[in-house]
């Protein structure tokens, strides 16, 4: 492109004026490049006034583009860090599933999609029975291992499209997405039976996992907070019966 910047050599007459025009033309192009690069840079590039030929123009533009590329790399690194921090903000560090904040955000997204596509599904609320006894008898490290085991079982027995979260303490929840009420309740019962048949060994002691399940179907138009409360109440009633 630079070979097109100069279309004729100075003639015997008007040579000085054409040189000035040429210099002005080069500075204009350099200034356009400077502004283009500066628009993406936090540090402004100095005004360009000392470029007198194509070589200096090419050198200046190369420098500006190099600085711009360096900024892009920094922005990419920053985006990666932000993504990591966002994941930390929505994930449960102990179990790796969504935390309450992340789960509620996903529930709202699922309900919004259900509103658009007239979908339905099941929200499952899970509370671990006698979990405090595990912590008191075997220590919090044993309790942490129980929580990891529960999360692993729930992840293994749900589809990639379903959502698993730990709402806090010993409470978990699952969204069985795009599932009929009949099929969803059947899957929830299967989860219930599997989790309550699970155990792990801690320092030679067998720790049986016991959990109460509450289930609430959802459909287009349901509210996230009301849905969680209904599933929680259903779980509480199950817990009372047990």
**Of 65, 87, 109, which closes a domain?**
87
Say yes or no: 74 and 104 in one domain. no
Report the domain count for the chain.
Answer: 2
Say yes or no: 187 and 102 in one domain. yes
- What is the pLDDT at residue 57? 67
Say yes or no: 182 and 97 in one domain. yes
Say yes or no: 140 and 211 in one domain. yes
Say yes or no: 37 and 81 in one domain. yes
- What is the pLDDT at residue 6? 36
**Of 52, 87, 122, which closes a domain?**
87
Say yes or no: 103 and 176 in one domain. yes
Say yes or no: 107 and 225 in one domain. yes
Say yes or no: 118 and 48 in one domain. no
On whether the CB atoms of residues 6 and 61 are closer than 8 A, the answer is: no
DSSP assignment of 32-90, as one string?
HHHHHHHTT-SSPPPPP----SHHHHHHHHHHHHHHHHHHHHHHHHHHHHHHHHHHHHH
CATH assignment of the domain containing 164: 3.30.70.270
Say yes or no: 64 and 107 in one domain. no
Q: Which residues have a catalytic role annotated?
A: 170
Q: Given a cut of 70, is residue 21 above it in pLDDT?
A: no
The radius of gyration of the chain's CA atoms, rounded to the nearest angstrom, is: 32
Give the lowest-confidence range in 82-86, 178-182, 186-190: 82-86
Note down the domain range covering 27. Answer: 2-87
Q: Give the pLDDT confidence of 129-154 residue by residue, as tens digits.
A: 999 999 999 999 999 999 999 999 99
Say yes or no: 49 and 8 in one domain. yes
**Of 26, 60, 87, which closes a domain?**
87
Q: Give the pLDDT confidence of 159-175 residue by residue, as tens digits.
A: 999 999 999 999 999 99
Say yes or no: 113 and 227 in one domain. yes
Say yes or no: 21 and 46 in one domain. yes
């Amino acid at each position: 492109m630079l070979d097109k910047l100069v279309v004729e050599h100075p003639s015997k007459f008007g040579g000085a004026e054409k040189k000035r025009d040429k210099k002005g033309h080069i500075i204009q192009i350099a200034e356009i490049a400077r502004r283009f690069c500066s628009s993406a840079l936090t540090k402004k590039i100095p005004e360009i006034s000392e470029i007198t030929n194509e070589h200096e123009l090419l050198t200046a533009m190369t420098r500006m583009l190099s600085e711009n590329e360096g900024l892009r790399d920094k922005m990419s690194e920053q985006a990666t860090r932000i993504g990591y921090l966002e994941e930390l903000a929505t994930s449960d560090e102990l179990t790796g599933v969504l935390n309450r904040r992340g789960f509620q955000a996903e529930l709202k997204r699922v309900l919004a999609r259900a509103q658009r596509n007239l979908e339905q599904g099941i929200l499952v609320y899970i509370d671990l029975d006698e979990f405090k006894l595990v912590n008191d008898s075997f220590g919090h490290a044993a309790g942490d291992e129980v929580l990891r085991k529960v999360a692993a079982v729930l992840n293994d027995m749900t589809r990639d499209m379903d959502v698993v979260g730990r709402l806090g303490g010993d409470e978990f929840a699952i969204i069985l997405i795009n599932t009929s009420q009949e099929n969803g309740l059947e899957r929830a019962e299967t989860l219930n039976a599997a989790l309550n048949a699970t155990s792990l060994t801690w320092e030679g002691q067998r720790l049986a996992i016991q959990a109460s399940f509450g289930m609430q179907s959802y459909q287009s138009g349901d509210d996230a907070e009301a849905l969680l409360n209904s599933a929680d109440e259903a779980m509480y009633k199950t817990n009372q019966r047990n």
